[in-house]
Amino acid sequence: MVILELDKRPDMLREAAEYFWKQWGSETNLPFYQNCIEHSLDPDNELPKFYVMLDDSRIVGTYALLRNDLISRQDLCPWFACLFVEPDYRGNKIGFRLLEHAKKQANVKGFKKLYLATDIVDYYEKYGWSYMEDGFGITGEPIKIYISNTE
């Protein structure tokens, strides 16, 4: 299995956008994902970047590094987002591999810290992420913010 930054595989734009959308989108926002990923392909921009894990040619996992994950803490950057592992691949530390890959990529891009927002409890902690504080999503609901060093 290999983890690829989509700007290295622009031929996968449509497939990847649909995959991210199916995991995280709504009925009407496929163009949002297509536009985000299309504009992430510029190799001169450090962020945003979208990543896929492939098993042969099948997408089995994803994540993104973003400037902001639609949360009130606009002062924090970058954000780890869109972690997804296909159900039949879970339990094999693929989520951990994607998290570690993200930390390395953020570090290579010059970021010493990485943030994420989640309502999931007791997942990220077991991989060394620390609860920082609550922020607020776009609907005003509180959401937990976690931090990890990238070194």
Q: Which tens digit of pLDDT belongs to each residue from 9-47?
A: 989 999 999 999 999 888 999 999 999 999 999 988 999
Residue 32 sits at the vertex; the CA angle it makes with 26 and 37, to the nearest 5 degrees, is 120
Vertex 47: Cα angle to 39 and 120 (nearest 5): 105
Amino acid occupying residue 115: Y
Is pLDDT at 93 greater than 90 in this prediction?
yes
Please give the average per-residue pLDDT across 114-124, as a whole number: 93
Over 90: is that where the pLDDT of 138 sits? no
pTM of this structure: 0.93
The dihedral sign for the CA sequence 41, 45, 46, 48? negative
At 76 the pLDDT is 97
pLDDT digits (tens, 9 = 90+) for 47-81: 999 999 999 999 999 999 999 988 999 999 999 99
Q: Which helix (H) or strand (E) holds 146?
A: strand 142-149
Residue 121 has pLDDT above 90, yes or no: no
Query: The CATH number of the domain where 139 resides is what?
Result: 3.40.630.30
**In terms of residue numbers, what domain contains 9?**
2-149
Cα distances (Å, whole numbers) of residue 29 to 26, 43, 116 = 6, 25, 22
Tracing tokens 């930054």 back to the chain, one arrives at 5
Using alpha carbons, select from 72, 77, 74, 151 the residue that is nearest to residue 115.
77
Q: Domain count of the chain?
A: 1
Closest by CA position to 82, among listed 54, 107, 102: 102
What are the C-alpha distances in Å from 56 to residues 49, 52, 53, 91?
A: 21, 12, 9, 19
The mean predicted confidence, pLDDT, of the chain is: 94
